[in-house]
Every structure is written in C-alpha cells, then in structure tokens.
Amino acid sequence: MRQKNQVKLNSGTGAGGEAASAAAGETEASAVKASLERPAVAGPSMEAVVERENLKKALAQVKRNKGAAGVDGMTVGELSAYLKKHWLMIRTRLLEGTYTPQPVRRVEIPKASGGLRPLGIPTVLDRFVQQAVLQVLQADWDGTFAETNFGFRPGRSAHQAVERAQVYIASGHAVVVDIDLEKFFDRVNHDILMGLVARRVTDKRLLKLIRAFLNAGVLEGGLVSPTEEGTPQGGPLSPLLSNLMLDVLDTELEKRGHRFVRYADDCNIYVRSQKAGERVLAGIERFLEKRLKLKINKAKSAVAKPGVRKFLGFSFTGGSEPRRRIAPQAIARFKARVRELTQRTGGKSLAQIAKELSVYLIGWRGYFGFCQASSVLRVLDGWIRRRLRAVVWKQWKYGPARFVELRRRGVGRDLAAQTAGAPHGPWRLANSPALTVALPNSFFASLGLASVAAQRPA
C-alpha cells in the first residue's frame, strides 16, 4: 500500500523536463515507468527548492515562526532586506551545490518532564533555506509515511494519535509497549539517515546540502564543535528527517502486524497480554540497535496497562470503554506553572495576574480540553480561584484593612471580624465562607479570568 503511494507521489512531482515530455501522450502505466526511470527529474530537485512560489512560502513561514537569531546575529526582521541584496548569489550557490550552512547556536530549554533539552538554532538564512528544502521534500515524502505516524505531518495532530491509541485499547489491546528512545535527536546516525535520504533523492546538490546541514557544527562557549551524529532540534528540517529515520521502525511494525501509534520519537505498541508485550519490546529493541543504531531508554520504557502510562500528556481509564484523561504528570506540571503565575509576593495587581494567567490557561485548555474527564477540569478551576483568593488576602495585608474589604464586599460584620482576626494562613482562609462571598466566581469572571472547564462555573 505504501509503495503504491510512493509511486503515485513521485510520478506527479515532475512538472516539466524530460519526464514530462516523455510521458506526454502515454498511458498512465508508461508515465509511472518513465518517472521511475528518471528519478532525478521526477523527484525532489534543487530547482524546485529555489522556485519562486516555494521561496515566498518559505519566507512567510520563517517570519511566522519568529525565533531567535543564530550565530551571525541576524534577526527574522532583517531577513527580507538581506535576501533582496544577496539572493542572486545565494541562489547561484544552491544551484551549483556550493552553499555552506553556518554552525548552529546551542541553547538549552527546560523539558516538560524536567531537565534541559538542547536546541540548535540555525541562522535565520539557514532556517529559510531549510524551510524551502523541507517544503519540497515533505510534499514528496509525506504520502509514503505510515498511516499511524502522526508527528510533524500536515493535517495530523497529537489529538489524533491519542484517539487512535484509544481505539486500539477499546478493541481489546489493553497492554501498551511504551517505547522511549534514548536521546533520539542527539543519536541519529548520519550515514544511515543519508542512506535513507538517497533512496528518495537523487539530486546530488540536494544530498550535499542536507549532509551539510547535519554536519554544520555547534557553537557553544565560543568554540565550534563538529556534529557527527544527531539532528539538532531547532531547525525546520529536523522533524522531517526524524520521521524518515523512524519510518524504518514503522515499516517493521507494519510488517509484524502490530497495532501502534507514533508521534515523533514517542511510540506506543498495543498488544493483548503482558507476555506478548515483553516479547515485542525485546524484539523491537534488537531491531532498533541493529538496523538504526538506536537505543531504547530502559528506565523510561515499559510494558504496562495504558492507565499507568502517559502518552502525549494523556492517560486512559480501564474497562471496555476507555476514556481519555489527563496524565497525573501533566496535571502536576500545570499546577507548578499556575503557582509560578500566582505568586503572592510578585508585586502584581490581581487584574495583571489574571490576564497573564489566562493566556496560559487558554493554551492549556486548547490541548488538554480534549480529555473526557470534565470533573477534573472543574476541580482545577476551583483550585485556581482559591489560589487567587489567597493572593488577594495577602494583598489586603492586615486585619483592619481585611475587615473593611470584607464588609465592603457584602460579608456580615461578625463573619468579617472573625475571618479578619483568624490566625490561619492565606491558603486556608482562601477557602473560607467569607472569602467565597467577598470574591465569588463572578468576580473573577469580571476580570476576564479564563476557565479550563468546558463551561464556566456559576
């Protein structure tokens, strides 16, 4: 099935040249045969990369992505003017196969699961060239990838991957082989990867350019270190190249008849029993080491019930009709971030805190609202409002001022006096009847506070 898709894709990519003229007037079978005989013309080419419309699309995407400057200090805002002045020279180098990328700038960002994730930031110009190459390659390759590969592909999403996993679990495959690849993006073997690229690209200039991006080196601490393995995260091409590398794994899993879902280097295989899962994990571990020289992280990989593992931030309930729920680790990260945004000693007004917090809540809700456990979202909404009531109580500072504020907001004299003089801390009092009356849910709604629940509580 996937081979047929590849033939169809390749036969339609050549818009002109020898393949188009030779195929004119022939049958569909002859056209396919001609494209296979002339892959250098029909497949991805440097001419397609530097085609005007492709470049316009690439420039627009780089501007949308924004991002920091690379080792040369050029910003995204300066790219258009630079291209107007130097594009003819750059285009000539690309077509002649002499374009040389600059080293990437190494930065580290916090990982959601803890620790730091190294990123390599290419120069803005190199990002533009990579994006132009990506668009040509992705158009040619994407239709050949596995149907259960959902990562970094147009029209596919993490939600679709989670939904597919849910279907497998509901069908009785209630044991997951959760595979975590050890430092995948840092360990990709360049020779194996370029061998896979060369099966799909015959334009030597394009192959040389891709290899040059892989070997561009990393600037760190004032020194440039060579990159002999890995596809540094941060460049537009890295996700597509990682998909190509792991397509070998997808093909093997399909050949073995497994039910699996993959999103980037996060791969889950669904089987019917613990014993079968352990056998599959051992077999895939051997395959990855032998075929791709990749290692499984044994500490993070496991064979278990889906309910005790997380997949793209979600987990599942048990039973014959599993439901999507937010993984405990994701809830813990959510609460940690909300705590940062609702610090009681930050010197910010409540309105400012609510505004900044809402930006985060809307984004979080956009992803995790896909869960099927709305009660959890309502509980989190209540927890957030309690955090904010504690902030207000802290800002009111002293007993007399607190008493005045409570009375002003409709709290009875006795309850206001009792609460204002209570020895308890802000968190405990934030859940008291007095603060619930003084700072009702409608008050926070009037500040524009976003809700993570499907419907804002009354």
Residues 6+ apart with CB under 8 A from 55: 132
Distance CA 290, CA 36 (A): 30
Q: Residue range 413-437: average pLDDT?
A: 95
Q: Is it the case that residue 165 has pLDDT exceeding 80?
A: yes
pLDDT, averaged across the chain: 87
Q: Is it the case that residue 25 has pLDDT exceeding 70?
A: no
List, for residues 124-133, the tens digit of each pLDDT value.
999 999 999 9
215-219, 291-295, 430-434: segment of lowest average pLDDT: 215-219
Q: Is it the case that residue 37 has pLDDT exceeding 80?
A: no
Q: Is it the case that residue 253 has pLDDT exceeding 70?
A: yes
Distance CA 105, CA 233 (A): 11
Q: How confident is the model at residue 212 (pLDDT cuts 50, 70, 90)?
A: very high
Rounded to 10 deg, the angle between the 413-420 and 399-408 helix axes is 150
> Can you give the pLDDT at residue 49?
97
Q: How confident is the model at residue 455 (pLDDT cuts 50, 70, 90)?
A: low
- % of residues, the chain, pLDDT over 70: 86
With 0.85 as the threshold, say if the pTM is over it: no
Q: Is it the case that residue 22 has pLDDT exceeding 60?
A: no
Q: Which residues on adjacent β-strands are paired with residue 119?
A: 107
Kindly give the pairing relationship between strand 175-180 and strand 259-263.
Answer: unpaired
Q: Choose between 347 and 173: higher pLDDT.
A: 173
- Cα–Cα distances in Å, from 46 out to 99, 205, 263? 12, 7, 29
Specify whether the CB–CB gap between 230 and 188 falls below 8 A.
yes
Q: Is it the case that residue 310 has pLDDT exceeding 90?
A: yes
List, for residues 83-140, the tens digit of each pLDDT value.
999 999 999 999 999 999 999 887 777 766 666 677 788 999 999 999 999 999 999 9
Q: Residue range 428-454: average pLDDT?
A: 94
Q: Residue range 433-453: average pLDDT?
A: 95
Place of tokens 């020895």: 423
